[in-house]
Amino acid sequence: MRATTPSFAPLLQRFFTQRLMQQRQASPHTISSYRDTFRFLLKFAQQRLHTPPARLALEVIDAPLIVAFLDHLEKHRDLSTRSRNLRLTAIHSFFRYAAFDAPAHAAQIQRVLAIPSKRFTRTQVHFLSRPEVKALLAAPDQRTWFRRDHAFLLVAAQTGLRQSELTELTRDDVTLATGAHVRVIGKGRKERSVPLAKPTVAVLKAWLREPPRGVGQVLFPNARGTRLSPDGVHYLLVRHVKAAAEVCPSLKGKRVTVHVLRHTMALDLLQGGVDRSVIAMWLGHESVETTQIYLEATLAMKEKALGKTKPLKGKFKRYRPGDQLLGFLNNL
């Protein structure tokens, strides 16, 4: 047994380098997601405990702190319950690893692992109408270097790529010759190629004439030349949705994310008669069943289906229970 209990910083570093990268060989998407979770957690802990992240002890990262952190994400960062649960999954994974390296903290670790995921109502798929997409794409100023935003939004709306897939694209991942497409390494390290429409190709050609920033070849970099962060993408979308709402009032009050643009593209394909199996391959879904959610999405498709049915005929008759207790339950 070790003479001393490992502190939080080296334990977290080993979790990423040994557990995730070496042992599990986790995908870049998983590592990126887990990294963001702990970046937010460390900043929250620093504000609460007035201690630099490198000097935090494992025992202070306890269940009450983590619950407070998750509540903070929902209330102050407008995080959905689903995203909150994903953050908790990353934290649980770390503490399961810590249980082997810090057995003296077994009771604390068990309390953290006992924090449950929140149940949530599965809402309908959100998507944008054609006029809303058009207004959003027209919002960015294309006279400056920040024509990047127009190219980013157009690629997102036309390809349906996930946010992590978009921000990790490099210039080498794009082919603009005959058979134009983007090459993506998606979830589960599955490689796929997504075709590009002619208008998207023209916009990307103009964008790629811009000198690359930084030392990397990131397709949509930030001003420093590095990858756009989730906060950077959020800021980009909020700014342009606000501008687009001045032209298209239906956008006011709508929460637009890259995932909403992904849903919008999928519904366009579905309404265009594209088979679900093709849509699943396009989006990089593990199973065709995942694409089933889009069948529940549009009222127009349901009304079209209703129009093919014959209306039921019959007289309306109100049910009247013959028992007082049944009547009470019926009125609850």
Point out the catalytic residue in the list 162, 227, 240, 276. Answer: 162
Asked about 310 being catalytic, the answer comes back as no
Asked about 105 being catalytic, the answer comes back as no
Asked about 235 being catalytic, the answer comes back as no
36 and 230 in contact (C-beta within 8 Å)?
yes
Point out the catalytic residue in the list 19, 87, 276, 294. Answer: 294
Point out the catalytic residue in the list 134, 187, 192, 254. Answer: 187
Q: Quick one: angle between helices 299-307 and 258-271, nearest 10? A: 20
Asked about 162 being catalytic, the answer comes back as yes
Asked about 262 being catalytic, the answer comes back as yes
Point out the catalytic residue in the list 105, 240, 262, 263. Answer: 262
- The catalytic residue positions are 162, 187, 259, 262, 285, 294
